[in-house]
Amino acid sequence: MRQFLRKVLICNTNSIIRIVTYAAAGSGLLYSNSDTDFKSFVSVSVSAPLHPFFSLRWPIAKELIPCASIVTSDHSLYGNIQSPLSRTGSIPSEDVNKDASGKVGDGSKSIAAAAAMVGPAVVYISVPCRIYGKPSGSSSGSGTIIDPDGTILTCAHLVLGSRGKTVTSKGKVDVILQDGRTYVGTVVNADLHSDIAIVKIKSSSPLPVARLGSSCKLCPGDWVVAMGCPHLLQNTVTAGIVSCVDRKSSEMGLGGMLREYLQIDCAINPGNSGGPLVNLDGEIVGVNVMKLTAATGLNFAVPIDSIKKIMKHFRKNGRIVRPWLGLKMLDLNEMIIAQLKNKDATFPNVNKGVLVLMVTPGSPADLAGFHPGDVVIEFRGKPAGSIIEINELMGDRIGIPLKVVVKRAEDTEVTLTVVPEETNPELK
């Protein structure tokens, strides 16, 4: 297998192996939640033939950074990816339940109807904040009431701050409903890695609630609605389509573990951050978290299916538990497998699996005996066809031995036992 890898590394630069290496460079380490980590720092030994590949710069990485929550005119401080947050000021009162004639698709569902169903549950959130220790007014954004008990879904960078910015609310935020009611909310859970947070308010009167949908049902081209309070214009509705249902963080030049986003072309502006992305059934299918400021119509939301998993972690552990193996991996498909076999006939005969590209020295995977070039075909006794499947099978198991079956050169099959460790909970 080592001979196979040497052949791989000196192949023609137009070959599939270069593509594989590039993908590995941006994919980050393997964690249990493929969508819940912004940054990871590890020491990895890279062989000399890999140096020219890993020294290349990703052009888009300079324009994409995790969302920033502070309102500022100097975007150069935080890069070109801007968190949609709004300025402080008065909140206009509007009625989102107006009749509208706009129909889409076959005419059976309308943007207006979807907006009217969710609109009353969309809230404005304001948080006092500081920039590098100095008072700097308030940051503000949006959220959605998702439970009659006052549970509000929003984004973490709004209530926690990020990239040098901190809030001074001590877990308290101001919440204003569409009907004008105001509350002091408490930040119950927040995770900057996934950029998802939960805020709770207490009300003696009934609260409007929005339903959670399923992001896995979305397809490119589906109509969606973005709602929130851009520039303090409460009850603002914009519409567009889903451009991509599984935009990888590595494609966007974002470091850390592999995550997936919904890419949309709805108009997103400062203040939409934390607001809901809604389908035409009036269900939340995502939370708007960031946009690419250097382009038009390139905006991103965390899928609601990922958020549901995050909320389960919140309920069970009060935080997100992320097992760590220390592997850099790549999903295999028929075309990649065929080209790898053309380069080396000893490559394992597999129809699918996950290729191990790098193993972090001293990691659980290294101690278990994983080697670059291994193809993972089973994880915990079940077929493993993708990194996402491995993540789901691993769940939040920490310190529990897990059986993994890999194939090596000339179809040598080996069973390994790996014991995942937990990543640093304070790692940002």
Catalytic annotation on 222?
no
Specify burial of residue 79 (Cβ count, 10 A radius: 0-12, 13-18, 19+). Answer: middle
- Is 313 a residue of the active site? no
Catalytic residue among 32, 110, 140, 157: 157
Choosing from 35, 37, 195, 374, the catalytic residue is 195
Q: For the residues of 45-60, what is the DSSP string, one character each?
A: ---GGGHHHHTPPPGG
Q: Are the beta carbons of 403 and 380 closer than 8 angstroms?
A: yes
Residue 217's alpha-carbon distances to 109, 265, 305, in angstroms, are 16, 18, 10
Kindly report the CA angle at 333 between 330 and 334, in degrees rounded to 5?
Answer: 145
Check 273, 306, 363, 386 and give the catalytic one: 273
Kind and range of the H or E run holding 421:
strand 421-422
Continuous segment of H or E residues that includes residue 366: helix 364-368
Q: Do the beta carbons of residue 405 and residue 377 sit within 8 Å?
A: yes
Alpha-carbon distance of 104 to 259, in angstroms, equals 31
Do residues 214 and 305 make contact, with C-beta atoms less than 8 angstroms apart?
yes
Chain position carrying tokens 């309920």: 315
Dist CA 70 CA 22 (whole Å): 33
74 phi-psi bin (left φ>0, alpha ψ -120 to 50, beta other): beta
Q: How far apart are CA 189 and CA 210, in angstroms?
A: 19
Tokens of 418: 């790996």
User: Is-catalytic flag, 273?
Assistant: yes
Amino acid at 346: T
Distance CA 309, CA 263 (A): 20
Residues 224 and 240: beta-carbon distance below 8 Å: yes
By the 10 Å C-beta count (0-12 exposed, 13-18 middle, 19+ buried), 72 is classed as: middle
Give the Cα-Cα-Cα angle 351, 252, 154 (nearest 5 degrees). Answer: 105
Closest CA to 303 of 152, 395, 192, 195: 195
| Residue numbers annotated as active site | 157, 195, 273
